[in-house]
Amino acid sequence: MSEQDANRETTEGPAYDVEAVQEKWRAVWDELDLFRADDAVVLSGEREKRYALTMFPYPSGDLHMGHAEVMALHDVAARYWRMKGYEVLNPMGWDSFGLPAENAAIKNDEHPATYTYGNIATQLESFKRYGVGFDWERRFNTSDPEYYRWTQWLFLKLREQGLAYRKNSPVNWCPNDQTVLANEQVVDGACERCGAEVTKRELTQWYFRTTAYAQELLDSLDDLALTWPSKVVNAQRNWIGRSEGAHVTFEVEGNDPVTVFTTRPDTLFGTTFMVIAVDSPLADTLVTAEHRADFESYRDEIRKASDIDRLATDREKTGVFLGVHATNPLTGAQLPIWATDYVLADYGTGAVMGVPGGDQRDWEFATAFDLPIIRTTEPPADWDGEAYAGEGAAINSPAAGVACELDINGLGVEEAKQATIAHLEKISRGTGTVNFRLRDWLLSRQRYWGAPIPIIHCPVDGEVPVPDDQLPVLLPELKGADLKPRGTSPLGAATEWKSVACPTCGGPAERDTDTMDTFVDSSWYFLRYVSPNDDTQAFDTALANAWGPVDLYVGGDEHAVLHLLYSRFFTKALRDMGLIDWDEPFSAYLSQGKVLNEGRKMSKSLGNGVSLGDQLAEFGVDAVRLTLVFASPPEDNIDWADVSPAGSLRFLQRALRLSGDVTSAPGTSPVGGDQTLRRVTHKIVHEAERLLETHRFNVVVARTMELVNATRKAIDSGCGPADSAVREAAETVAQLLSLVGPYTAEEMWAELGHQPGIAAVPWPTVDEALLVEDSVTAIVQVKGKVRARLQVAPDISEADLEAAALAEPVIAGLIEGQTVRKVIVKAPKLVNIVV
């Protein structure tokens, strides 16, 4: 017996047999099938719906503490809705394709399918033991052909709409995972999964046109900001990165004109050079024969660097002259064109007008290569910095002696911008424009474990979609070394699978050998849950409209940009195809903190991991769940070293003992029971509703503890165990507790003489009359200082309150012999006496 167990026995009587209680109720619950969501009820409008969703796991091992936390939090909301009478959809499945499972499988020398499905079975068992109220009838795995058939179908739908396309471009390459990465998967220049430094490669890849929705994805964030955490909303805003500015076109001798994107068209008079992304096709076109050798060797060197390094403000400025000049459209000045690495090929137009007076990077570049600097915004008098990007009057625009039809000298930045844009539009040398940082989503992967891209490449017909009736394109069976990543897709090794007849001309053709990013699978899974077994369509539109959107989504911050943004894109695209009628997938989002140990993230290498299995074995499911919910507000991190599952277990036991002590019969009316205890009970239920709706689940647990204490006091030294208010309080404890400790709650419910299935019992009704306070505290101030406090009736009149204040002995003593000039009375809370 552990020290805690011994402690428990001496202070609280014998520990309850957690294991036996869990076993008993699990079997009963399986039988009762309490969490089945009823489509008919929401379709008919008979009951209002709630869709509760938590991010489905990758099956890369058994469940861990992080899963335990998110599931415990999520279940509080789902169970509460259920008790409040909503028809609740609360499904679960597995995000079973993708790198996490594949890498783990390769490491363990197993086939990804064997490994994945083995882990799913393990996790399913753990979920059931953990007692989360999921509708298991709706489960699916994204790696099931019945699911990915529809992922492929959706890909083709998006392609039909021009929202999926293939292009050749420099892409992020992870040398360790041997695959390309979306921009969102590169964090500080490293692979989001494995941490390896990301490099660039020129490849033909598939993209989703997320940029088509850039403005709407941004605009809808204004509404989401009310129900989503601000850090997630801000992360998305930054990621989408809207910039207002202009496209300006420069003539280039012997070449096509070059267009730049600038946020500061007002600085055009201060442009002294032009810089082009060294790795852009444009640089390659412009460079003269004489400068080509230098250019190419510079480019080879730069290709090794990541975007983050390239954009770092403290990076030394490098570049090569391309041998050509551009003409300033306003002044006719000749500007040398350089290639550099601080301009990115895939942002704006990949070309920048160099304004050293206004942009620090340009300043450093001009200084490094001895190019002229002209200020076009007047810096403040005490300015001793270099480039000045702030507010100020336009100067040198144009400079003295320079002829130009446009003169913006003296205008403020905003006015100067508008005037310049207007002029450029008039002379057809530019237009006002909006630019987004958001890039299209690169979705193809050179890895085995994903949904094959359903495209056939035909030498005659080009890209041909696989016809609907030939979906799914099943993953070919590959084994051993053939599965391993190698720079090109492993699917290429399946030579028989790869060669097919072209669906259009019947001639020899080849399947696309790339697979889709796992994030494609999870961008629409919330739709599949509404009709998970439908083999005629991806999802049923009527059901999707009835159940959707998700009312509360619970998950981690790590998906703030990736998964949430992609799901939002899919939702908007599907809406525009008429497949759903809502605009956003997740109406509210709760992002839970992390479970740490001793101040640090749990990890194998630090040796500070806490095994969920061990915790459950030692303290039981309810104590672990209660500890996780009680430890902090959901958004905050929890340090497992600072919490006490043993204390949680003691509390559960104390709660359980209440139900054994109640002696009145089930069904006894509480009316006429002890009023003090009834007031406490009803106030706590009333407050709990508000707390649950605002996701302050930890405080709900605190209030439940208070109710346990109040009930215990009533039994032991108050009205006694036979009072009907004691039964009411104990039943309320069981119901509140069912949100976090369902096994203990069910046990209490049975001991209180009820049928099993507390999860389906309606939420207690609050008697408003019991919420009215007997008395409130009124403050009495003399000369602005609080001198006394009075207990008064909440509906006391102003006259009575003034009289009571003046009669109070301390106050009477203070004002004796003084002239009372004024008495301000705000019943029932305040009396202010001015002497």
Interface with ligand ANZ by CB under 6 A: which residues? 243, 261-264, 267, 277, 343-344, 347-348, 350, 352-353, 355, 358-359, 389, 435
**DSSP for residue 377:** B
**Smallest distance, ligand ANZ to C-beta of residue 259, A:** 11
Q: Which is nearer to ligand ANZ, 423 or 559 (CB)?
A: 423
Output b/e per residue, 522-536; b: 16+ Cβ within 10 A.
bbbbbbbbbbbeeee
**Smallest distance, ligand ANZ to C-beta of residue 353, A:** 5
Query: What is the C-alpha to C-alpha distance for residues 223 and 230, in angstroms, rounded to an integer?
Result: 12
For 582-718, where are the alpha helices, taking DSSP H only?
612-619, 621-630, 645-661, 675-693, 697-717
**Smallest distance, ligand ANZ to C-beta of residue 351, A:** 7
Q: Which is nearer to ligand ANZ, 22 or 262 (CB)?
A: 262
**Would you call 497 helix, strand, or coil by DSSP?**
helix
**DSSP for residue 453:** P
**Smallest distance, ligand ANZ to C-beta of residue 270, A:** 7
Tell me the DSSP string of 593-630. --EEETTEE--TTTT----HHHHHHHH-HHHHHHHHHH
Q: Which is nearer to ligand ANZ, 267 or 735 (CB)?
A: 267
Q: Which is nearer to ligand ANZ, 80 or 347 (CB)?
A: 347
Q: Which is nearer to ligand ANZ, 243 or 418 (CB)?
A: 243
Token pair recorded at residue 36? 């089945």
**Smallest distance, ligand ANZ to C-beta of residue 233, A:** 19
Parallel/antiparallel/unpaired status of strands 49-54 and 87-89: parallel
**Smallest distance, ligand ANZ to C-beta of residue 343, A:** 4
Q: Which is nearer to ligand ANZ, 249 or 681 (CB)?
A: 249
**Smallest distance, ligand ANZ to C-beta of residue 164, A:** 25
Q: How far is CA 119 from CA 60, 63, 280, in A?
A: 7, 9, 45
Nearest to 37 by CA among 471, 629, 546: 546
**Smallest distance, ligand ANZ to C-beta of residue 196, A:** 25
Q: Which is nearer to ligand ANZ, 355 or 655 (CB)?
A: 355
Q: Which is nearer to ligand ANZ, 267 or 681 (CB)?
A: 267
- Using Cβ positions, the residue closest to ligand ANZ within the complex turns out to be 358
Q: Is 98 left (phi over 0), alpha (psi -120 to 50) or beta?
A: left
**210 sits in which H/E element:** none
Q: Which is nearer to ligand ANZ, 392 or 492 (CB)?
A: 392
Q: Is 607 left (phi over 0), alpha (psi -120 to 50) or beta?
A: left
Nearest to 805 by CA among 772, 828, 775: 828
Query: What is the C-alpha to C-alpha distance for residues 63 and 68, in angstroms, rounded to an integer?
Result: 7
**Smallest distance, ligand ANZ to C-beta of residue 167, A:** 17
Q: Which is nearer to ligand ANZ, 177 or 279 (CB)?
A: 279
Nearest to 326 by CA among 318, 314, 334: 334
Q: Which is nearer to ligand ANZ, 41 or 344 (CB)?
A: 344
**244 sits in which H/E element:** strand 242-252
Q: Which is nearer to ligand ANZ, 225 or 389 (CB)?
A: 389
Q: Which is nearer to ligand ANZ, 103 or 267 (CB)?
A: 267
| Beta carbons of 748 and 656 less than 8 angstroms apart | yes
**DSSP for residue 793:** -
79 exposure class (CB count in 10 Å sphere: 0-12, 13-18, 19+)? buried
**Smallest distance, ligand ANZ to C-beta of residue 437, A:** 6
**Smallest distance, ligand ANZ to C-beta of residue 243, A:** 3
Query: What is the C-alpha to C-alpha distance for residues 364 and 159, in angstroms, rounded to an integer?
Result: 44
Taking residue 41's Cβ as centre, other Cβ atoms within 10 Å add up to 15
**555 sits in which H/E element:** strand 552-555
Query: What is the C-alpha to C-alpha distance for residues 429 and 451, in angstroms, rounded to an integer?
Result: 46
**Smallest distance, ligand ANZ to C-beta of residue 203, A:** 20
**Smallest distance, ligand ANZ to C-beta of residue 352, A:** 5
Nearest to 700 by CA among 146, 231, 77: 77
